[in-house]
Structure 1
Amino acid sequence: MSERPEFTVRNATMEDVPGVARVLSRAFFEDPLTEWLFPDPVSRMAKSARWWAAYSGYVFIPRGRVRVAVEDGPRPVVRGAAAWKEPEEPSMGPRALLRTLPNTVSLFGLRRLPELSALLREIGGLAPASGPYWHLEVLGVDPVVQGKGVGAALLDAGLSRADDDRVPVHLETNREENLAYYERYGFAPTGKLDAEGMPRAWGMLRPAP
């Protein structure tokens, strides 16, 4: 039986961008959204790492709400990452494409920009219609430490902050099998995106305590 690794959960810095991109590209390699974005499995890992590096460096980390789980040791390694949006922060939606435009155009070309923007708008429609809420934008764990408590530690850290604020928490997932995992933390499905030509997505909400 393998030993449970020791890791520290802390706020991410810009120096963590490569580690966050590596973890998320590995965690979401077979995710329906990633497969839709990058259909070619040969180039998917490299391209999705560039995608996550752009989002981490230009959208997530500058807002100061990314937590990373770092495996302790002589050479600490990022093993998990979670990006959160506070209730008072405006939703980025398609505007995130503007923040990452050079990288997005390089990866997808101009032709896919309308398609990407439409997907982000549709996913945004799964969010609560009113009231403040925390938003778990992404949570990913390196497959080599799956089942070791990394995801739970990252999730618990954000949920504790939301409970302190006494507001609900919203998330989206593109994998139906993830619904049961999040239901264990008090989330319930609130809507589904099932549009032709787009990856399926589910919205989930955890009520305020």
Structure 2
Amino acid sequence: MTEYDEAPEVPLPLPPPPVDVKLLRADEVQAAAEVLARSFRDYPVWAYIQPQDQRRPKLLAWVLKRYMRAFLTKSGLKRGYAFAVKEKPSEQVLGVVLLWRPSRTGPGSRKLQPWQVVRQGLLALPFRFGAGVTHRLLHADSGEDRQKELLKPALGAYWYLDYMAVDSAAQSRGLGSQMLSLCVRQAQAEMDCPVLVNTCSEAARSFYLRNGFSEVSDSI
């Protein structure tokens, strides 16, 4: 008679905690900026702006916090949407999306008004991070604006998906697709025109293609 050892029980993985996708509140901007800073720290454009790896996260969090605060001002609310994916019941911010509304004649402007630059303390950028970083940041932004202008005749008015990220610890749970679907539905319900996103990341490119986006170029 053969004896068999009883196989040890393998615990089943716990289901992921429930989440909400809601408009980002002003008191969540710091947490949202930190999520974006961790997600974009190795992104080529930010590596160009701040070549020193150890200093880049601080720059990203500082700039993006002020950028989002301007986005969420009374004036900024008319310019688009800021969404947050939050874990329930902790309300921890796990993901962020910034979506700029188009104008009737073309893409909406991402440029901040002078009073917003002053109010958010962005004039301190060269003093905190240096003239070189400031110059490269402005140069990188202007290059992206020129690229969008080349697409304007072909696309007309369009929404612009500016930043989107899910914190690394919360990835592989479908949160990115959930955020993207909600943003696109809400945007196109308000104004039915394309949603444009610009990325140089192959992983991000594959993600957007899987979620129904198609590629365009300035030659169309």
Please report the TM-score for the alignment, with normalisation by the length of structure 2: 0.76
Query: Is 1:90 paired with 2:108?
Result: yes
The CA distance in 2 between the partners of 1:126 and 1:148, in whole Å, is: 33
> In 2 relative to 1, CA 176–166 (structure 1 residues): closer, same or farther, beyond 3 Å?
same
The CA distance in 1 between the partners of 2:18 and 2:40, in whole Å, is: 23
Query: Is 1:182 paired with 2:193?
Result: no
1:38 corresponds in structure 2 to 50
Moved over 4 A (4+): 93-96
**2:127 corresponds to which of 106, 109, 114:** 106
**1:17 corresponds to which of 11, 19, 29:** 29
Query: Is 1:61 paired with 2:72?
Result: yes
Tell me which amino acid in the other structure corresponds to 1:68. A
Tell me which amino acid in the other structure corresponds to 1:69. V
User: Residues 61-80 of structure 1: matches in 2 within 5 Å?
Assistant: 61-62=72-73, 63-64=76-77, 65-73=81-89, 75-80=90-95
Q: Is the 8 A contact 1:26 1:142 kept in 2?
A: yes
Secondary structure at 1:177 match in 2: helix
Q: Is the 8 A contact 1:17 1:56 kept in 2?
A: yes
Please report the TM-score for the alignment, with normalisation by the length of structure 1: 0.79
> In 2 relative to 1, CA 162–38 (structure 1 residues): closer, same or farther, beyond 3 Å?
same
Larger-Rg structure: 2
The CA distance in 2 between the partners of 1:77 and 1:135, in whole Å, is: 26
Number of corresponding residues: 189
Tell me which amino acid in the other structure corresponds to 2:180. L
Secondary structure at 1:84 match in 2: strand
- TM-superposed deviation, 1:155: 0.7
Q: Is the 8 A contact 1:70 1:76 kept in 2?
A: yes
The CA distance in 1 between the partners of 2:68 and 2:59, in whole Å, is: 14
- TM-superposed deviation, 1:47: 2.5
Instruction: Give unmatched runs, 5+ long, in structure 1.
Output: 193-209
- TM-superposed deviation, 1:112: 4.1
| Higher fraction of strand | 1
Stretch deviating more after TM superposition (18-27 or 2-11): 2-11
> In 2 relative to 1, CA 39–110 (structure 1 residues): closer, same or farther, beyond 3 Å?
closer
Tell me which amino acid in the other structure corresponds to 2:204. N
Per-residue CA distance 1:98-118 (angstroms, 9 max, x = gap): 725324223432344343222
The CA distance in 1 between the partners of 2:178 and 2:136, in whole Å, is: 35
1:148 corresponds in structure 2 to 173
The CA distance in 2 between the partners of 1:143 and 1:175, in whole Å, is: 16
Secondary structure at 1:42 match in 2: coil
Instruction: Give unmatched runs, 5+ long, in structure 2.
Output: 1-12
Secondary structure at 2:54 match in 1: helix
